[in-house]
Amino acid sequence: MKRILIVGGVAGGASAAARARRLSETAEIVMFERGEFVSFANCGLPYHIGGDIQDRSALLLQTPQSFKRRFNVDVRVFHDVIDIDKVGKTLLVRNLLTGDERRESYDQLLLSPGAAPIRPPFPGIDSPGVHTLRNIADMDRILAALQRDDPHHVTVVGGGFIGLEMMEALHQRKRDVTLLELSDQVMAPVDREMANMLHARIREEGIDLRLRTGLASIEILDGQPEQTVSTGLRLTLSDGTRLDTGLLILAIGVKPETRLAAQAGLELGPRGGIKVDASMCTSDPFIYAVGDAVEETDFVTGESVLIPLAGPANRQGRIAADNMLGRSETYKKTQGTAICKLFDLAVGSTGLNEKRLLQLGLPFEKVYVHPGSHAGYYPGAHPVSLKLLFAPDGKIYGAQAIGKDGVDKRIDVLAVAQRAGLTVFDLQDLELTYAPPFGSAKDVINMAGFVASNHLKGDTLLCHTAEVQACHPHQQVLDVRNGPELDQLGRIPGALHIPLDELRGRLNELPREKELLISCQVGLRGHVACRLLSQHGFKVKNLSGGFKTWQMAVMA
C-alpha cells in the first residue's frame, strides 16, 4: 500500500488529495495543514470582508470531516511540518495544539505550502492594526478590527489583485481609503495606458490613490508598542509625507514558502521558488511540489516564472497526483491568465504585456480596439477596450481588456487562441456566438483580428500615441471626427480637422509632402480615411484605437 503525505491544503494540496483518492482506493493519504482550515476559497476572502459574500461558511469548501467522509483522506489541521528527511523518507511533524512531535514516513511526498504575504522590515511593521490577507484567520482578524476599532480611515499598500479587492471591500464598508502604490500604475499585468482607466475609476469613487508612493515606517498613535489593540497609526511615506490611519492592509505581494524545501536540499529555481519539472517532480524523485511555492514555465518565453494563481495550482495538484500514482502527465506551462473586478469594471489579461516584451527585446506589434460588449442598438452595451500584442508573423503574445461587460469572454477566447497556436489572422475567422443581447456579428475578437491583419498585410499602417506626441515636422495629425465630438471629448493638440464625410471634397487642404497620422474616436473611421487617402497618393498611418487610446495614454 502506497503512503502519500501532503504538506498544505487549499488549492494545490486539496486537489491532489482528492485526485489521488479517485485514482487509488488503497493508497493511504495524509494531509498536514498548519492552520485550522484545509480547503477554503482564499480568492473569496476580500468579498466576504466587503459584504458581497455574506455567509462566511460559503468560503469553507471542505473540512477534515468532509474530506474523511468523501475521500477517506486523513486531514490533520494545526500540524506543522518542520523537517524533511529525504534519505529516510520521513517528515518531522509538530502538533501545534499539544507541542508533540513525531516522524511520519512516506512513499511519495507532495509539497503545497503556498506563498506568504511580503512584510518588509519597516519600523513598526508588527504593530497592531497592520494586517495581511492570506487565509480565513487573517480575514477574521481584519473583520474583528473593523468591528472593534471602527476606523474612519484605512490604508491599503499595494495595487495588485489583493490590494484592489481590499480597497473596494473597505470602500463598500463606508471607510475612507488611501491606496499606496510604489510604481506608476496599479495592476502590473496590464500596461500603463490600460491601467490609467483604472486610476480614473478609482479616483471617481473618492479614493485617495497615491502612485509612486510607498511606505517607509509605521508609528502607533496614543499607545505603547506592546499594546494589542491599535488606536491609530501614523505612516511615514516614501515621499516624506505623513498619513494618519486607523487600519493598514499590506498587499505588496507574496513570496513562495520554500523553507522546508531549502532545508531538505531540494533545488530552487532562479526566481526563488521550488524547481519542478513538467511532471511537478522536484529534484528528489519521491517529492513533488505544486502551487504558489513552485516556479512554472512561461508559455510564451519558456522562462521560469512565479504565478500565484488558483487555476494553475489546481491543475498542478491533479497532475502531481497522477504521476505519484504511476501515470505520466505533464503541466503545459502557464499563460498567467487572470481577471479582477474593480467596482463596475473588469480588467483581464493573458500572456505577455508590452513592458515585458520590451524587456525581452522581442519585436512586436500592437493594436487597440474599443467595440461594444454587444450590439449597440440593444440596451446595455458598454465599450470593451482591448489591447492585442503579437509578433510580426502574427503569433499572439498577449492581450489585455477593460470594460463593464464581456471582458472575461474576450480574454478567455484569446487565451485559448494563444494556447492553440492561432495567429491574429485566425482571429478574423473565429465563429463566436451572436445575438444582440450577447455580442455583435463582428465580435471584439474579430475586430482585433481585422485591425492586426490589415496592419501586417500593409492595407492600413498603424501608429501609436508616442508617435503622435512626437509628431516630427514631416508629419501632420489629421482628426476626421465630427466637430461636436471635438468640442465634447477633446482634441489632439496641433491636429488638422476635416470630418470623414467631407474628406473627398477637401483633399486640396492636405499637405501632400507630409505623412498624415489619422485620428478618429476609436480607429474605425480612421481606417476608412486611410484607405481613401492612400488611394489618392497620400502617405498615411492610422492611430490605433483613435483618440480614446490617445486619451488613455496621456492621462495623468
What are the angstrom distances between the C-alpha of 487 and each of 335, 431, 491, 529, 552?
42, 39, 8, 21, 18
Joined grid coordinates for residue 464: 501609436
Joined grid coordinates for residue 137: 484567520
Joined grid coordinates for residue 131: 494586517
Look at strands 74-77 and 79-85 and give their pairing. unpaired
The Cα 332–Cα 326 span in angstroms is 19
Joined grid coordinates for residue 342: 474593480
The DSSP result for 72-140, as a single string, is: --EEEETEEEEEEETTTTEEEEEETTT--EEEEE-SEEEE---EEE-----TTTTSTTEE--SSHHHHH
The verdict on whether 520 is a catalytic residue reads no
Residue recorded with cell 522562462: 303
Q: Which residues, at least 6 apart from 413, have a Cβ–Cβ distance to it below 8 Å? A: 430, 432, 445
Other residues' Cβ atoms within 10 Å of the Cβ of residue 320: 33
> Residue 181: CA atoms inside 13 Å, Cβ hemisphere, count?
22
In the DSSP assignment, the letter for residue 191 is -
Q: Residue 266: exposed, middle, or buried by beta-carbon count in 10 A (0-12, 13-18, 19+)?
A: buried
What are the angstrom distances between the C-alpha of 253 and each of 242, 481, 522?
23, 44, 35
Joined grid coordinates for residue 60: 469553507
Among 43, 340, 471, 520, the one annotated catalytic: 43
The Cα 469–Cα 268 span in angstroms is 45
Q: Are 396 and 422 in contact (CB under 8 A)?
A: yes
Residue type, 35: G
Q: Are 353 and 191 in contact (CB under 8 A)?
A: yes
Residue type, 255: K
Residues β-bridged to residue 33: 77
Q: Are 437 and 382 in contact (CB under 8 A)?
A: no
The Cα 109–Cα 501 span in angstroms is 70
- How much of the chain is in helix, strand and coil states, percent to nearest 5? 30, 25, 40
Q: Are 167 and 207 in contact (CB under 8 A)?
A: yes
Instruction: State the catalytic residues.
Output: 43
